Structure 1
């Protein structure tokens, strides 16, 4: 929007921040952001609404800002790009105002299919009015994004009910993932979960090289933040953005290739030792002796033996000892004698294909809550089918 006074000396303007597709290596969207100043001092959008806009004017102001953003966007080169608009939940909850928003978009000469309406996840209340407004705009072609997912008490049911096209992860989720490995693992799983409900994932707040690496590693679709490009009236072109991200992608891929090489070596040693153990068992060796080649490997956690129904025979043979504190914390889970693991995929795959070595997907061990993979194989011991299993620490 053209800079202009709204109240006294308050000036408003439109800036746009690129939303970049990692796969396509180009900007695919621009988020419109309100910029305000008073006597040369920058004001945040919340300050504008709190200080200058009465509650009964909030929806009218929201529509006016959206109209100005649309008009400015229409003057920019925007072929094959979405316009991301922040919309107040109050506006979306009023079907009449939602219809007016649709009129504003079309009046600016923008196809509704090019507009993504962002609604704060924490502001959503799933009432009939909001759903009606959302449905009306989506029928016209607009797309929907849930903004700031992962801040406070996020509600997956709320997200699923709205069936968004995009989910934008809050920057604090990224900050936590940079500093904590567990959150980093969780971030990747959340991305996959959003994909399962049919939403593309935008990671916001990408501001440093570490942020870029974690975002790339998460499997997200789109990224946004100062490292990609800062908001501006005329934002950075892809000729500036792409080389920055390509350099980090190449670095990550080189690191990933080295990690995979080490992992393959580690898993190959585990497989060789596993086969030795299986042969010894079939030849009549006692389990605690037959398992020694496996238990001698540094990344093996435990070995255990199941019968043909998936019931554990005897206790675990543990290779890696937990600390005394952890032993106490997980004491109720320690004794797995007689436990039934027939629902686990590592048992089902092994029993379906006797003699074939299977490696599971990574999962959380119920015995001590460490992330691991399980090697398994169905073998005959004393003319009865058994499944030999070995838990191996998840390679990092």
Structure 2
């Protein structure tokens, strides 16, 4: 039996298989609200046969957007638009749905990738002033952020809480807290971006404090039926930065608090990073963390082939695998993986007639 197509529990949430669609920014929102693009894009992915779909990084306050075209979840209009989208997806797909709640910190106020992706100054109509753990710019093109004071940190935690409550009201099954890829929570974790001398800086314990506080607050704010986990970058890929040993310590602390999954990526904090991006290059990080925690571990990063994904699970290196760009390129990747691995899945009945002769048996009926 294929492990990739076996069920998995992320706390209270039961997945029918272990293929996770990772959050992928679309830069197509209007005033933080979902648009027709999201209905088309997410509707397509919701019919892919994956076990879980996590919506893109969604800002918890206006300054937390990467670009002006990012999703947000800090006001009623955004909540109503997202609720309509979720209702539409639910009408046609039983796939569990999650959301990634995020704050971009010093990497905010940028152009959309196809518009160049560079930093936008605060006085531009599509720009704003940014915040971070310390007053250190991401690079020479980004402005120097304002270091959050304690009152600002308290407000940030409340922003995550309110966005999590809105996520529950729109009907989502899972909340992923974004502490990866050089965004604000990661900025507090890494000594390269956090030079504070208060309770949120210096020692590893202090640098982890905000992530743990946000997790505790979100977990307490949502019902027990909603799964809550964290995405991390396991290393900055820069000497003297956040690294695997510190990630293991954070994972153990989250596990002890009842975290229901950890999603292990890497990088994004510092432009000096040097990454050798080979197939499955981040899986060793997931493997090392899995050996130290009880919660499920999701591996991600150039996992593109069905047998490669199956091997990650069969070797006990992770509990699930996440796909991002690969499933954009091939939105029926789970169908093709099931055919290759001798598994079955249940498509929408409208698609039953497309089952090819050479893959007969891959489709099951509801």
Report the TM-score, using the length of structure 1 for normalisation: 0.41
Q: Pick 1 or 2: higher relative contact order, CA cutoff 8 A, min separation 6.
A: 2
More helix per residue: 1 or 2?
1
More strand per residue: 1 or 2?
1
The structure with more radius of gyration: 1
Report the TM-score, using the length of structure 2 for normalisation: 0.44
